[in-house]
Amino acid sequence: MLKTLLKTLTADFRIIFERDPAARNWLEVLFCYPGLQALLFHRFAHRLYSLHLPFIPRLISHIARFLTGIEIHPGATIGQSVFIDHGMGVVIGETAIVGDYALIYQGVTLGGTGKESGKRHPTLGENVVVGAGAKVLGNINIGNNVRIGAGSVVLRDVPSDCTVVGVPGRIVYRAGERVDPLDHGRLPDSEAQVIRALVDRIESLEQQLQVLQKATDSPRLEETAVPACRIQDKIIGQFLDGAGI
């Protein structure tokens, strides 16, 4: 048992150098990475919790929360090579299960949705990336290689090999494309895609209206509204292109 625990802790330590370019030496990682420290506390508390020892596991979890800002219930099951980056404000519930090689950023909540008993927290597969501030709530299953965008709220099961963004979370598939887990800039913007479709529809209707106006020799509306339309088109274009972000 001790050998397995040491192997798991070593994997937690090594994955930081693979996932964080700011990690330069072992001393800095050991003393200055709260995510690693929180996992060290949790591994020990979880062992005691599995022995049905009262009070002590929760006390260890509470001390870890005070020192690191990360709250992991001792009942949660955390896989190997899990990296909690920065970590402040992370909350992982009692019945949550986190698979191997998961990457969790600050402000993430793996929580429940009410006062139900039994399994009430999410299950994350392997190689899952949960962006900053994301909330994954309820007894749901998140498949392998899933990427959850920052600020997303996930309330339903997510199949493997896809990306979830938005509130509530919406699934965007990327079949056959391997994505770097650290490449957050490539997350799709589903809201912008919907707005783009609406703008295209409005432009189509405007063109149809112009054809009808020409057919009936009616005054053209754009002659009295060109400046306003141009300003609005510029604002829409900047939003869709991400200008100013």
What region, left, alpha or beta, does residue 144 occupy, with left being phi > 0 and alpha being psi -120 to 50 degrees? beta
CB 99 within 8 A of CB 80: no
Annotated domain spans of the chain: 2-186, 190-241
CATH tag, 2-186: 2.160.10.10
> pLDDT of 114-160, one tens digit each?
777 889 999 999 999 999 999 999 999 999 999 998 889 999 999 88
pLDDT means per 10 residues, the chain with 245 residues, are 77 86 85 92 93 93 94 94 91 94 94 84 94 93 91 90 84 58 58 72 83 72 52 61 50
Query: CA 176, CA 199: separation in Å to the nearest integer?
Result: 30
Beta bridge partners of 141: 123
Q: What is the pTM of this model?
A: 0.74
What pLDDT score was predicted for residue 176?
46
**β-strand pairing of 71-72 with 91-92:** parallel
